[in-house]
Amino acid sequence: MDITNLVKNATNLNVNWKYGDFYEIIEILSTKYIVNYEINEEKVAMIQLENEIIGFLFRNYPLFFIENRYFLQLKKLLEKNDYIQFINVASIYQEDLSIDNVLYNTYFDHMDNTNKFSAQDLYFYNVT
């Protein structure tokens, strides 16, 4: 799945994400999920349900990688922030994502292969 347009949409939004809404979303998510995020250290929050990682939320852009089976309940929980770009994946481990290399390198840290990667790959290359 090519995520170029979704990432382009997220990076072009004029919202108070990085310094405001992101932290509000973290608080909302924390009421129902485990949110692993170290302020001033990480650029991506890991969202878990018990011991299972179900998604990743980026601090710099309103991008939320989420497993399909949790999408509807998360979208409803975050409906006030309808500008969030959800990228639904069958599994965060499945390497079926791609993105334009130039766009990727403009907004994210180096990753070896932008033609075939998973949400987890993107997390590991960009978490700090």
What's the pLDDT score for residue 73? 96
pLDDT digits (tens, 9 = 90+) for 58-112: 999 999 999 999 999 999 999 999 999 999 999 999 999 999 999 999 999 999 9
Q: Is the pLDDT of residue 14 over 90?
A: yes
What's the pLDDT score for residue 40? 85
Q: Is the pLDDT of residue 25 over 90?
A: yes
**Of 101, 89, 100, 107, nearest in space to 10 by CA:** 107
pLDDT digits (tens, 9 = 90+) for 36-48: 999 889 999 999 9
Bridge pairing between strands 52-58 and 44-49: antiparallel
Q: Is the pLDDT of residue 128 over 90?
A: no
Q: Is the pLDDT of residue 116 over 90?
A: yes
The backbone region for 40, taken as left when phi is positive above 0, alpha when psi lies in -120 to 50, beta otherwise, is: left
**Of 51, 38, 44, nearest in space to 122 by CA:** 44
What's the pLDDT score for residue 75? 95
